[in-house]
Amino acid sequence: MKILVASSIDKDALQTLEDKHNVTKAFNANEAKLRTIICNQEVLIFRSGISLNREILAAAKKLRLIIRAGSGLDNIDLAYLKQQDIPLKRIPGPGAVAVAEMSFALMLSLARQIVVADTLLRKGRWAKNELDGHLLTGKTLGIIGAGNIGTRVGGFGKAWGMNILGCVESPASINGKHFRDHGFDLVDMETVLKTSDFVSIHVPLKETTRNLISSKELSFMKDGSFLVNLARGGVLDESALYQYLTQPGGLAGAALDVHNQEGEGKISPLSQLTNIVLTPHIGAMTIDSQRQIGQHILRIIAQFN
């Protein structure tokens, strides 16, 4: 089969695909390149970092299967796929665990000023007396988007001795039920923001969630609270965040793994602040999760053959 691998995947899975199929690799290619190379491909494997718009998909006349090697569907024209009846398989499970763990890595990093401590120590500064931090234990963890990933974050929070609150777009949904079944409190978003010491965002990016957390929502957050975004950059208004990270009585800190502008050479204005931790969309990037995703890809392709 002719397979276009448009984003990096586990190297062993990629090797197996290359041994058995006609594979074209084009990681994070631009629109013009994708439109050219996709023409005669039968299978497309992709992740975040590229945009699969209608023009690109329309050029893929031979496409019979699309595999999303992960979760998010914000970078592909779903309406067009539906029209064309091209099957799309997602593999959301393995990355969810990694993203949930990353939420804790970022919360702990903020609470204990780990990046600041490391930066100072490398310069010879022994800033022990300036680096007092916060406990997570006993604090309230608020989850915006208490779905697959959010519920796992809640589970980790419980083990950490935190009080867990969450909200979902529609509380009657399966996500809401799942979260409640774990014994966590499902409330509205305003209550989550007003009550939590740590807020972790886990909603997909779509029309109803674009700029979901903007100036008004940030104004609800407790003075000295912390915000973590592992969802998508478009969900959070970064200029409003800048303001709330720099004004008196605003947030104590924020950590972003996803950004309005992503990719090589992009530097956010937020990088000027010391009370922010920035990582390059590595939430799902554990060797374990990517290996599992790779195995899923091989199974999906074997069954499709």
Binding interface with ligand MLT (CB under 6 A) = 47-48, 70-72, 95, 281, 284
The catalytic residue among 134, 152, 232, 296 is 232
In the complex with ligand MLT, the residue whose CB is nearer, 72 or 250, is 72
Q: Tell me whether residue 47 is one of the annotated catalytic residues.
A: no
Considering the complex, what minimum distance in angstroms separates the CB of residue 154 from ligand MLT? 19
Of the residues 152, 259, 281, 296, which is catalytic?
281
Is position 232 annotated as part of the catalytic site? yes
Q: 253 near 107, Cβ under 8 Å?
A: no
Which of 109/148 has CB closer to ligand MLT? 148
Distances (CA, A) of 1 to 44, 68, 103, 244, 304: 11, 18, 38, 51, 10
Closest distance between ligand MLT and the C-beta of residue 297, in Å?
A: 13
Based on CB atoms, which residue is closest to ligand MLT, 70 or 142? Answer: 70
Q: Catalytic residue, from 42, 101, 169, 262: name it.
A: 262
18 counts as catalytic? no
Q: By C-beta, is 72 or 253 nearer to ligand MLT?
A: 72
CB of 68 to ligand MLT, least distance (A): 7
Q: Which is nearer to ligand MLT, 178 or 281 (CB)?
A: 281
Among 223, 230, 219, smallest CA distance to 251 is for: 223
Provide the residue count of the chain.
305
What's the min distance (Å) between Cβ of 69 and ligand MLT?
A: 7
d(Cα 110, Cα 114) in Å, to the nearest integer?
7
Helix (H) or strand (E) holding 148: helix 148-159
Nearer to ligand MLT, 155 or 204 (CB): 204
Distance of closest approach, residue 161 Cβ to ligand MLT, in angstroms: 29
Strand pairing report for 65-68 and 88-90: parallel
In angstroms, give the least distance from the CB of 70 to ligand MLT: 2
CA distance 234 to 211: 6
Rounded Cα gap, residues 281 and 39, in angstroms: 29
Q: Among residues 99, 134, 100, which one has the least CA distance to residue 114?
A: 134
Question: Of 282, 272, 213, nearest to 246 (Cα)?
Answer: 272
Burial of 142 (0-12, 13-18, 19+ CB in 10 A): buried
Residue showing tokens 């990681």: 27
d(CA 11, CA 89): 20
The residues annotated with a catalytic role in the active site are 232, 262, 281
